[in-house]
Amino acid sequence: MISITILGNGNVAQNLFEAFQKSDSINVVQVVGRTIDKLNYFKSRTSLATYKDDLLPADIYVLAITDDVILDVSNNLKVNGLLVHTSGAVPLSSLNKHNKIGVFYPLQTFTTGKILDLSTVPICIEANNNEDLQLLHRLGNLLSNRVTTIASSKRKALHVAAVFVNNFTNFMYTIGEQVCAESAIDFSLLNPLIQETAKKIEGTSPKLVQTGPAKRGDQQTLHAHLTLLENKNQREIYTLLSNSIKAMYAEQKDKPL
Amino acid sequence: MISITILGNGNVAQNLFEAFQKSDSINVVQVVGRTIDKLNYFKSRTSLATYKDDLLPADIYVLAITDDVILDVSNNLKVNGLLVHTSGAVPLSSLNKHNKIGVFYPLQTFTTGKILDLSTVPICIEANNNEDLQLLHRLGNLLSNRVTTIASSKRKALHVAAVFVNNFTNFMYTIGEQVCAESAIDFSLLNPLIQETAKKIEGTSPKLVQTGPAKRGDQQTLHAHLTLLENKNQREIYTLLSNSIKAMYAEQKDKPL
């Protein structure tokens, strides 16, 4: 049995809580927040406490709070066990004030009020000693079939990649929605295309399935699209991304077979 | 019964062929290509012909060929029925040499060798008279539960939006893959994130679910990410998209409640 205390009350805290609860080999002994009334979600399902209280003993303390307060909160924390954070961007060394430290980073985007199945979500772990790394491995395997050790430096690169495929992709959706709105087109028409665009690259390299006027070097369509975009920022993005795609595939054409 | 001739042999032609074949109310009388041996996919499943042959009579001739040859091929075509193309980018007027013309545009991305279920794929239709529009509506409804009339001008905007959510999104995946490769990280770790990013916006506006350092205005992380990106073009894209996201959400913050 692994005993866990969760510190935090947001989407990651809630999703981890539900995943932990599903396992017979994990016991969530306590959830900790700034105030008890912030912990309503967990009420009567485990013991609740604030950061100022003396915390119950646990094998692992999981800090599921926003990146910018991890250093501050952890520096003021008294825990008697392994302390891990759940962030993709924060280095392990942020927890250096403590002895036994680690990272338990579920590589996924979480939404308020939506509990995801974590069984296929990669859990990226790190620790400052082998025993704790093994413990995190064991914990990860109880949740997911994809647990992988990733050091802070690599995790940083992984997080940048995540910004491209998640943050920037979502922003592409937003521009698509704006372009639709300007022409009174129902954005939901694009939903099957959006889903298939994501599915298409399961098991294949996105570089191999790129399509569109920029890839084809179709100047006429590129020009027509730019004329249609009224927003200067949208035109700038359209131009930079189209030129980048053109350059990528023109390079390929120039390469000898 | 609607009788159909398909002109073309690519992904769209194959996907439409399979969808048409599934309906008892549609009869694919012929598939037409530049040469018979290009039509191997359809062999012994219907009559085959080349563009030079006299074509069999049909209610609708579906031109499923690449955008840049639609004008040329259609100008040299002799058909005795309604002629439609399947492109998002080409105006209806490209078919003006013919009498009865229309558009039958399945709003989806198709992959070689992959037959999709078209029942949820929007079919965007257009015609130059009401009778033919009704015929296309009937045909569309036999394939999909989402048939919608969209005039050429709107279809052009829809196509620009599709470039953002499909072409540019796929390019974001490609950059994510490159960033991973540079740090010897397995890109498939990002797959659950990519799928959930797409699923997240089913039924909600992407603008409402944007996350990340740019949205938060987290300068420290933005700077750290730029330092990590070695490729100038990637840095340029990261900067433009981050600044655009920052501007979008800063505007929101400034607005009175």
Give per-residue pLDDT as tens, B191-223: 999 999 999 999 899 999 999 999 989 898 999
Cα–chain-centroid distance for residue B66? 12
Closest CA of chain A from B158, distance in Å: 6
- DSSP-derived 3-state class of residue B195: helix
CB contact under 8 A, B179 and A172: no
The pLDDT assigned to B220 comes to: 87
Angstroms from B47 CA to nearest CA on chain A:
31
Residues of chain B with C-beta less than 8 angstroms from the C-beta of A148: 186, 189
Chain A positions touching B179 (Cβ under 8 A) are 157, 160-161, 164
For A231, the closest chain B residue by CA position comes to B244
Among the partner-chain residues A156, A174, A237, the one whose CB lies closest to the CB of B210 is A174
Higher pLDDT, A68 or B161: B161
At B27, list the tokens.
Answer: 């009869």
pLDDT tens for B123-142 read 999 999 999 999 999 999 99
Residues of chain B with C-beta less than 8 angstroms from the C-beta of A68: 218
Check B233 against A221: CB less than 8 A apart.
no
Q: How far is CA A106 from CA A126, B190, B196, B232, in A?
A: 12, 11, 13, 30
Report the gap between the CA of A37 and the closest CA in chain B (Å): 25
- Cβ neighbors of A136 (< 8 A, separation 6 or more) are A60, A82, A84, A102, A104, A125, A126, A127, A147
- Complex confidence, ipTM: 0.95
* Closest alpha carbon to A102 in A67, A149, A55, A145: A149
Of B157, B164, B185, the CB nearest to A158: B185
Residue of A67, A193, A238 lying closest to B166 (CB–CB): A193
pLDDT over 80 (residue B143): yes
Q: Give A-chain residues touching B165 at CB under 8 angstroms.
A: 172-173, 176, 190, 193-194, 197
Evaluate if residue B257 carries a pLDDT over 50.
no
Domains and CATH numbers, chain A: 2-150 (3.40.50.720)
Q: What string of H, E and C letters represents the secondary structure of A234-246?
A: HHHHHHHHHHHHH
What residue of A is the nearest CA neighbor of B158?
A180
Instruction: Chain B: give the shortest CA distance to residue A100, in Å.
Output: 25
What predicted TM-score, i.e. pTM, was given to this entire model? Answer: 0.94
Confidence band of B256 (pLDDT split at 50, 70, 90): very low
Contact B200, A109 (CB under 8 A): yes
Average pLDDT over residues B62-73: 94
pLDDT the model gives residue B194? 98
- pLDDT at position B247, please? 96
Task: Work out the mean pLDDT of chain B and round it to a whole number.
Answer: 95
Chain B residues in contact with A165 (beta carbon < 8 A) = 172-173, 176, 190, 193-194, 197
Q: How close, in Å, is residue B55 to chain A by CA atoms?
A: 31
Burial category of A168 from C-beta neighbours within 10 Å (exposed 0-12, middle 13-18, buried 19 and up):
buried
pLDDT of residue B108 exceeding 50, the answer is yes
Query: Which stretches in chain A have pLDDT values below 50?
Result: 255-257
Which pLDDT belongs to residue A257? Answer: 45
The share of chain B scoring above pLDDT 90, in percent, equals: 91
Cα-based angle A197, B200, B124 (whole degrees, multiple of 5)? 50
Interface touch B176/A192, C-beta < 8 Å: no
